Amino acid sequence: MASPRQIHVGGVAIGGGAPVVVQSMTTTKTHDVDATLAQIERLAAAGREIVRVAVPGLPDAEALRPIVRDAPVPVIADIHFNASLALRAMDAGVAAVRINPGNIGGEAKVVQVVERAQATGTPLRIGANSGSLPDHLRWTATADPAGALVRAALEEVEILERLGFHEFKISVKSSSVPVMMAAYRQLSEQVPYPLHLGVTEAGTLLTGAVKSSIGIGSLLAQGIGDTIRVSLSTDPVEEVRVAFDILRALGLRKFGPELIACPSCGRTNVEVHELAAVVEQRLLGYREHFEVAVMGCAVNGPGEAGDADFGIAGGRDAGHIYAHGAVLRRVPQDRLVEDLFAEIDAWIAQGMPRPQRGRRKLDLPVVLTGGAA
């Protein structure tokens, strides 16, 4: 998106105007090939475009060849401290290697890794985390944590540039949202390379999603960032969902359905929270991009549902199904979800035609005033 330079990780373009790419990381033991591939399959099904796997030891490096061969998305090897593992990973055909040139064993080892990357056409990810800054920048970090991250990253950039290597992307992650935002902003003004955004150790599903949405989302809204990873202490499939929610909310990617749901209030006659949860769960089975509104009543319900491709608005015993700005029909409350998805499936089977419509073409049986949504 923002970075002038472009690299390719497997067949995936990063930077140079390419769409922002979603990454995540497996939580399995990489040497357990079956478990790792099974998790990669789940993540790819959820939309992940690049996967990173940890390679802490030789058994993990030896597992890379079958993983790379059978994974449905490009695989990045995450390596620290051990240059020989990075060499093995590249020989196994990984799409990229994440290293920290500062902890890979000295300049001779960095040269070895870069020469192998050049020979195999393997891009690298470099960069610093606030928790793993080099010793000489720890004092700087107490007064200027963002500046220390940028300094650390630029020192790594200088090493690679001195070796004539430019196929890399950079991260400057922190668990502090203001720090990572400041660091990425500063770095984006100083380098042309693609930037990989993330709030590291962001937290559990809710707190981590909030922090990531603010940190990653704010930077993307400013045009900074080319790949993203949402780091959550939960099933990594949730990371992918949150990442796409961020991109969808910013209008940067259209992947999968988008749910619009009212918060409900004293006017509703249905359990909107339960209804929305049921619809959201069923929408996970779709990759097509369309909008579905779940509204609690006919006050704001029809207006919001009218903007979406499909919608339902609850009522006392019966609700309404909407499609493309018009009421389709009134159905008993207990048929609302089934009939909604029958309509969606039929529409997808027809090629998802979107008829032209005005903002207010609704033929409403009930019109009230005011509303809380």
Q: In whole angstroms, how close is the CB of 309 to ligand SF4 at the nearest point?
A: 18
User: Where in the chain does DSSP place strands (E)?
Assistant: 6-9, 12-15, 21-25, 50-54, 75-78, 96-98, 124-129, 168-173, 196-197, 227-229, 258-261, 291-295, 310-313, 318-323, 326-332
Give the footprint of ligand SF4 on residues 267-286 (CB under 6 A): 267-268
Lookup: tokens for 52: 């990173």
Tell me which residue has tokens 């007064």.
143
Which residues in 219-242 are b (16+ Cβ under 10 Å) and which e? bbeeebbbbbbbbbeeebbbbbbb
To the nearest whole angstrom, how small is the minimum distance from the Cβ of residue 317 to ligand SF4?
16
Interface segment toward ligand SF4; rule CB under 6 A; list 35-43, 261-269, 321-329, 335-343? 261-269
DSSP 3-state percent helix, strand, coil across the chain (nearest 5): 45, 20, 40
Number of residues engaging ligand SF4 in binding (CB under 6 A): 15
Check binding of 56 to ligand SF4 (CB under 6 A): no
Q: Which of 263, 285, 332, 365 binds ligand SF4 (CB under 6 A)?
A: 263
Smallest gap from residue 274 Cβ to ligand SF4 (A):
14
Q: What is the residue whose two structure tokens read 């309404």?
A: 320
Report in angstroms how near the CB of residue 339 gets to ligand SF4 at its nearest: 20
Q: Please report whether residue 261 would count as binding ligand SF4 according to CB under 6 A.
A: no
C-alpha–C-alpha distance, residues 228 and 217, integer Å: 10
Question: What is the smallest separation between the CB atom of 280 and ligand SF4, expressed in angstroms?
Answer: 16
Q: Which is closer to ligand SF4, CB of 150 or CB of 305? A: 305
For ligand SF4, give the closer residue by CB, 348 or 368: 368
How far is Cα 66 from Cα 300, in angstroms, rounded to an integer? 53
Please report where in the chains the tokens 């401290």 appear, as a residue: 81
Contact letters for ligand SF4, residues 290-319 (x by CB under 6 A) = -----xxx-xxx------------------
Q: CB of 17: closest distance to ligand SF4 in angstroms?
A: 40
Given 128, 242, 262, 279, the residue binding ligand SF4 (CB under 6 A) = 262
Give least dist CB 261 to ligand SF4, A. 9
Among 259, 265, 278, 318, which residue sits at the site for ligand SF4 (rule: CB under 6 A)?
A: 265
Q: How many residues does the chain have?
A: 373
**Would you say 15 or 311 has its CB closer to ligand SF4?**
311
23, 74, 92, 94 from 36: Cα distances, Å: 15, 13, 16, 15
**Strand 21-25 to 12-15 pairing:** unpaired
Q: Given the rule CB under 6 A, which residues bind ligand SF4?
A: 262-265, 267-268, 295-297, 299-301, 371-373
